[in-house]
Amino acid sequence: MVQPNQVQSVSIKQRFFRLNTLAAFLIAAVVVYIFLTRFDITETVSIIKSSNPMFIFLGIVVFYGFIPLRGYRWHVLLIESNIKLPTFELTRMYLLAFFVNSILPARIGDIYRAFLLKKNRDVSFPLSLGVLFSERVFDLASTALLVLLGGFFYLEKIVSAELHSYIITGLVVIGAIVLIFAVFSWRSTWLLRFFPRSFRDYYESFTKGLFRSPAKIPAVLFQSILIWISEAGRFYFVAWAIGCQVDFMLAVFVSQTALILMSLPLTPAGLGLVELFMFAVLLPAGFTRESAAAVIIADRLISYWSVIIFGGVHYILSPRYR
């Protein structure tokens, strides 16, 4: 049995060359190829080259400027378990996790954050997973709220019946996860009897990391909503940079529905799937094929490819943390 205080090894190099990772990139390559056949690449590149650099810069600032808020929210959630760590340090770990999520499937970056806390601060691995589970629930709840808000304006207007059913299914799954979280948080002792004795120490340590402060829910939920609104802000500025004068609620709807796909463990950070989904949503919203592709590619250059570059450099230069 894995003891609660045992270090969990997360080797990025080993995981990168595993069969499931290679299969994930193969799936991503196929889907990206399908995406690239939907528009004229030469015209799309021309549109991107003529984009407004000031708006692109604003999109970058919004994306990276809100990473410290993610670190601060992690700091707040850890305090609930009597663990006080500097927000700056947690922000650095968050950027490393972003990098890992971009090169490995199944959101391994979240597990990697728990590993980093154990390695650098001797925080119990299962307790860290409990904190991260709480964080993920707040993320999913915020995304669901923003999808519903944006969907009030755009769901029936620009989404096909098939995509509509996928979005609704995703929202139902999110609701189920939130319900499971509530059971874990407030009925963990009752559930303990159903686990084998050899697993109980691990489970108890995990539940110590779960969020149990109803009075603080509004503050943490507000932080989470701000974090995910920043995703919409990045997309909004990128669209304006390309010359597409979208309104902010469309940016909210497109960015948040894409985030649901990013949570699927099929490809790293939803590579390929997100691009194709956003393309299917933007066309009915009045975009030409080339302008939609230009916005998507520019947006993913910031939210995916730049993370591989900057996160990779940070990973190489941070041997103590990694």
CA–CA distance, 206 with 209 (Å, rounded to integer)? 6
CB proximity list for 33: less than 8 A, separation 6 or greater: none
Residues in the chain: 322
CA distances from 89 to 116, 224, 270 (A): 11, 19, 27
CA–CA distance, 59 with 303 (Å, rounded to integer)? 9
CA–CA distance, 172 with 241 (Å, rounded to integer)? 35
What is this structure's pTM? 0.90
The predicted pLDDT at position 1 comes to: 41
| Ranges of H-type helices in the chain | 12-16, 19-36, 41-49, 53-65, 67-79, 87-103, 108-121, 125-158, 161-186, 188-192, 197-208, 217-242, 248-262, 273-282, 289-300, 306-317
CA–CA distance, 80 with 285 (Å, rounded to integer)? 43
Q: Which sign does the torsion angle of CA 187, 189, 195, 199 carry? A: positive
The predicted pLDDT at position 169 comes to: 81
Longest alpha-carbon distance in the chain: 63
Q: Which residues of the chain have pLDDT under 50?
A: 1-8
Tokens 């154990």, located at residue: 118
CA–CA distance, 186 with 200 (Å, rounded to integer)? 17
CA–CA distance, 282 with 5 (Å, rounded to integer)? 48
* Nearest Cα to Cα of residue 303 among 261, 245, 248: 261
Q: Which sign does the torsion angle of CA 127, 128, 129, 134 carry? A: positive
CB proximity list for 196: less than 8 A, separation 6 or greater: none
